[in-house]
A and B are shown apart, each in its own frame.
Chain A
């Protein structure tokens, strides 16, 4: 009995020490995040219920206005369409490249070639883009997104495929499984973790397509590629801060919900 008491005493001292260390190491980052992101975002939420100039409380008025706003609807539609087309395409193309690539040796050079676009600043290739895609339409955005992001998708898929225990595949082969069977029954189910990662990272990067879109076609491009990013930027330039606040809360809220959902599935997977 006494021994047990001393044990908890000791472990709680260790726990306190860990808690203190955790707080100490995180302090700088957390206070920066609080000052630069969290507190001002609360202010944005407050502003989304007030007018931009006078600051009078207007309830849901700003939200009603953005949902009635044609530009907002168009931008949401285009952004959804872009992510809906690009992410599945990137995931599949990446897998199609990674599957044969993971079966051969000495692929360092090949992987470098595919990763290389990640290192090329958008500004330096814009002039080349203008030579080929002078129209800056939907397809050209999809192509340049795939071009830039294919490399890390291949790296992630390959890392995932390589981490599948070799003996499972070998055992399946001995039991007479065909290549196709082991792909669908063993490899793909084992790659769920990589799949989530790739989806998250490619989503994170899908918003950066704005760089290409803006640099090639400016603040007001063709209708079909007018994205949320353009809209936010234009509202910002015109100081329509009330609409911006409401839209930031909406987009942020939807993303927050999406991330939570993804984390839930991710945790269940483990």
Chain B
């Protein structure tokens, strides 16, 4: 028994160590954001200027500084515009997905009628189509609705994405169907069953969809790159990589600020995230 405990501790230690290695990039971003410009220049120059060798890095900067944050937060109003763009687009997409996708997931989870399986199959196919395949079709319809180069061009197609429907569906499928039958016998209408039984009991699936959706849309690149020409409309995810390495400290600081909401959601939504991943795998 004792040997087993020891082996378990070893395995745990090994995997934790590997996990910490996996999380290393965050460490670089955070330490980089408090390093002085001079230090950064010294660390990064071999790679970025000469294109060879390795970056040197200090575990703890010699002279920690908040200069980059001060510059970001007090001297760069554009940064707030982009940050706000990211927030607005992400929130509107998620709200729209809830409004449209939750009833759709409910329809698939509860009502097996003729044709519902075929439609479900269609939704699976649409879920798996990469953005590039539907890019031209989105462009055509957005062009016709004269929505190009407005944030709605990014928001509207995403609202009708079928991916979150499958997460929500997974949550609804876990509710025992006898509950609905019992409610029907008691004379409850279908809308009442959805609002009073479905929504409260299927919360898990919806929250999973929100958590995964937030991480996805906070990180979106393809859609704004294709449909937004005006840089003032861009989300942070598109703007950040444009900062040159000469301003590395500024870029690291901006990265940290962009990380914060995602990490926050990750930490509070951890359980739903894991559950959502498992739901995404349920089918039929």
**A interface residues (Cβ-Cβ under 8 A, vs B):** 14-15, 17-26, 28-30, 32-33, 35-37, 39-41, 43-44, 47, 97, 100-101, 103-107, 109-132, 134, 147, 150, 152, 155-156, 159, 193-194, 197-198, 200-201, 203-204, 207, 210-211, 214-215, 228-229, 232-233, 236, 241, 244-245, 248, 251-252, 255-256, 259, 263, 266-267, 270
Rounded to whole Å, the gap between the CB of B50 and the closest CB of chain A is 10
B280 at the interface (CB under 8 A from A): yes
Question: A36 near B281 (CB under 8 angstroms)?
Answer: no
Give 16 CB contacts A-B under 8 Å: A19-B114, A24-B107, A25-B104, A26-B104, A30-B104, A37-B157, A101-B15, A107-B15, A116-B26, A123-B240, A124-B255, A127-B241, A129-B25, A152-B277, A155-B278, A255-B130
Question: B20 near A122 (CB under 8 angstroms)?
Answer: no
- Chain A residue with Cβ nearest B219: A121
Question: A28 near B104 (CB under 8 angstroms)?
Answer: yes
Rounded to whole Å, the gap between the CB of A58 and the closest CB of chain B is 17
Other A-B pairs, 12, CB within 8 Å; known A25-B106, A36-B157, A107-B12: A23-B107, A29-B160, A37-B137, A40-B136, A41-B137, A105-B8, A113-B22, A115-B274, A123-B221, A123-B255, A200-B128, A229-B130
B225 at the interface (CB under 8 A from A): yes
B139 at the interface (CB under 8 A from A): yes
Question: B241 near A126 (CB under 8 angstroms)?
Answer: yes
Question: A270 near B19 (CB under 8 angstroms)?
Answer: no
With A22-B116, A33-B162, A113-B22 in contact, is A248–B104 under 8 Å at CB?
no
B215 CB contact (under 8 Å) in A44, A118, A193: A118
With A22-B107, A28-B104, A252-B129 in contact, is A210–B222 under 8 Å at CB?
yes
Number of interface residues of B (CB under 8 A): 97
Question: A121 near B132 (CB under 8 angstroms)?
Answer: no
- Chain A residue with Cβ nearest B158: A36
Question: B265 near A119 (CB under 8 angstroms)?
Answer: yes
Question: B29 near A33 (CB under 8 angstroms)?
Answer: no
